[in-house]
Structure 1
Amino acid sequence: MSTTVTLKRPEAIVLDIEGTTSSTWFVHDVLYPYSRERFTEYLTDRADDEDVQRARGQIIDLAGLDPDADTAQLVAALEDWLDRDEKRTPLKILQGLIWADGFAKGDLTSHFFDDAVPAIRRWHEDGIELWVFSSGSLSSQRAWFGNSPDGDLLPLFSGHFDTENAGPKRVASSYATIREQIGRPAASLLFFSDLVEELDAAEEDGWGTVGVRREGDQHAERGVGEHPEISTFEQVRFT
């Protein structure tokens, strides 16, 4: 792998989270179990919450359940998606609510690779707009960046996208939606991700891309196809 990847300076950078700024294993080993233990509580004790009601309806539709399905059936569907690591929107909605509460209580602190926060701060100081596109819900993203080991990072970002307000991460139309909302041409946008399918989708819409391969992380051995490849943000140079 080249030690340096030199690219034209973008007007805006859009970052994936898992496997890119942060370890997928932290999410799987810490956040997933934390949410799993609280699915039943949220679906029962917070049944009147608008977001919980929306998630409940989506679970029933996606899992093909009866409209009067009980909480145990809903939880079984959530756990099945979680076991399969399927990025289903209602799962992400509930996880986001649960994790946001966990961060607020001090139960959770987000994880970032050592090179990630310095790069984010450097790019922000250089006047590059920063955005996030993750399968995690908006609430989980805000909780994640608002409760980092380096403090609140939210002021460094212009906004956040998830599968509800943008669309699936492996579909080019989602990146077109993001591009339109950012209001900049595709050629001025740069997307960082560890998944080649996501990079391919962004490239299809005309974006610049960088594939991130973190040694030992979940998808590192799959590679990033023909996209420029890094293992740390310190390898990125802009001209």
Structure 2
Amino acid sequence: MPSTERVAKVVLVDIEGTTTSIGFVHDILFPYAKNNVEKFLEDSWDSSVEIKEIVRQLQQVPQFAEYTLRVPPTDVDVQVITGFVRYLIDKDLKVTALKALQGLIWQQGYESGELMGHVFTDVPGAFAAWREAGLRIAVYSSGSVAAQKLIFKHSVVGDLLTHLSAHFDTHVGHKQETQSYANIAKTLGEDPRHILFLTDTPGEAAAARSAGLQTIVLQRPGNAPLTDDQKSRHELIADFSSLHTLQLPE
């Protein structure tokens, strides 16, 4: 179906490599979390119920036992969790508790003005065009819902959060699992065929398509190169400009 004839009710967007550069996430956000996690934990270790729960969840991560092989459970402290968090960040592991903690650290950075969320230049216009056409815009990212909201609220072009009507993270399921997209469609109350998922990752697009969603893979600057097989299996676009004409089904 040519893009000029494409219809949908919901545009579901990934963040990293889709609305936001991979470089911003890996070169700005991840180092910021690594550099600030120890002080953040020190400031909240004894006083925050939320942090205590995140620490408990981190201790349940399978890699924690291996990481702390020589550390008795009773000796788990700020330094141990700090090191484990930095280890998880370096491995780029999609751990829900890690994402929650990163979101809290980034919140301080955004609110202080140290961080501003990167979005590609075509994103604001596309968001505006889709909303003008009556479509809903939702986000599905491995980053926590809180972190998603921060990127768009404190973006380099101003507050884009008002364009977004729903947010999903790994609480709904992992991004390369078909059931995750079925869960999203159910939560949105939409026929999967009326949801267009935009991502930079072919594995995510394949899982979404298996759930009945429409899918397109973004080839943004800095994104991982695609194999010939991946290119043949997916519709590809360089940016959102060709999707400004999205319309609701009649």
Fold-level similarity (TM above 0.5): yes
Aligned residues: 234
**Match of 1:34?**
32
Aligned to 2:236, which of 217, 221, 229? Answer: 229
CA distance in 2, matches of 1:137, 1:123: 24
CA distance in 1, matches of 2:152, 2:166: 11
CA distance in 2, matches of 1:46, 1:103: 18
Give yes or no for contact 2:200–2:223 (8 Å, CA) kept in 1.
no
**Residue 11 of structure 1 pairs with residue 17 of structure 2:** no
**Match of 1:190?**
196
Aligned-pair CA distance for 1:201: 1.1
**Match of 1:134?**
141
For residues 116-152 of structure 1, the C-alpha deviation after alignment (integer angstroms, 9 at most, x for no partner) is: 1111111111110000001111111111110112211
**Match of 1:49?**
48
Task: Give the gaps of 5 or more residues in structure 2.
Answer: none
Moved more, 224-233 or 143-152: 224-233
Aligned-pair CA distance for 1:228: 1.1
Structure 1 residues 208-223: aligned runs within 5 Å: 208-215=214-221, 217-221=222-226
Match of 1:110, SS? coil
Give yes or no for contact 1:186–1:205 (8 Å, CA) kept in 2.
yes
- Return the letter of the residue paired with 2:49: E
Aligned to 2:117, which of 110, 116, 120? Answer: 110
Tell me which protein shows more helix as a share of its residues: 2
CA distance in 2, matches of 1:117, 1:225: 29
% identical aligned pairs: 33
**Residue 176 of structure 1 pairs with residue 182 of structure 2:** yes
**Match of 2:127?**
120
Aligned-pair CA distance for 1:43: 2.0
Match of 1:150, SS? coil
**Match of 1:150?**
157
Q: Describe the shift of the 1:74–1:125 C-alpha distance in structure 2 as closer, same or farther (beyond 3 A).
A: same
Give yes or no for contact 1:55–1:93 (8 Å, CA) kept in 2.
yes
Match of 1:55, SS? helix
CA distance in 1, matches of 2:232, 2:97: 31
Give yes or no for contact 1:196–1:225 (8 Å, CA) kept in 2.
no
Aligned-pair CA distance for 1:224: 5.3
- Return the letter of the residue paired with 1:226: R
Moved more, 171-180 or 49-58: 49-58
Match of 1:37, SS? helix
Match of 1:235, SS? helix
Give yes or no for contact 2:96–2:170 (8 Å, CA) kept in 1.
yes
Give yes or no for contact 1:193–1:212 (8 Å, CA) kept in 2.
yes
- Return the letter of the residue paired with 2:205: L
Match of 2:60, SS? helix
CA distance in 2, matches of 1:181, 1:59: 27
- Structure exhibiting the larger radius of gyration computed from Cα positions: 2
CA distance in 1, matches of 2:147, 2:102: 7
**Match of 2:22?**
24
CA distance in 1, matches of 2:231, 2:35: 34
Aligned-pair CA distance for 1:91: 1.4
**Residue 59 of structure 1 pairs with residue 58 of structure 2:** yes
For residues 157-195 of structure 1, the C-alpha deviation after alignment (integer angstroms, 9 at most, x for no partner) is: 11111112x111111111111111100010001100000
Give yes or no for contact 1:129–1:157 (8 Å, CA) kept in 2.
yes
CA distance in 2, matches of 1:145, 1:51: 24
CA distance in 2, matches of 1:7, 1:72: 56
Aligned-pair CA distance for 1:50: 3.0
CA distance in 1, matches of 2:29, 2:242: 29
Q: Describe the shift of the 1:201–1:225 C-alpha distance in structure 2 as closer, same or farther (beyond 3 A).
A: farther
CA distance in 1, matches of 2:78, 2:119: 34
Task: Give the gaps of 5 or more residues in structure 1.
Answer: none
Q: Describe the shift of the 1:21–1:220 C-alpha distance in structure 2 as closer, same or farther (beyond 3 A).
A: farther
Aligned-pair CA distance for 1:42: 2.1
Aligned-pair CA distance for 1:218: 3.5
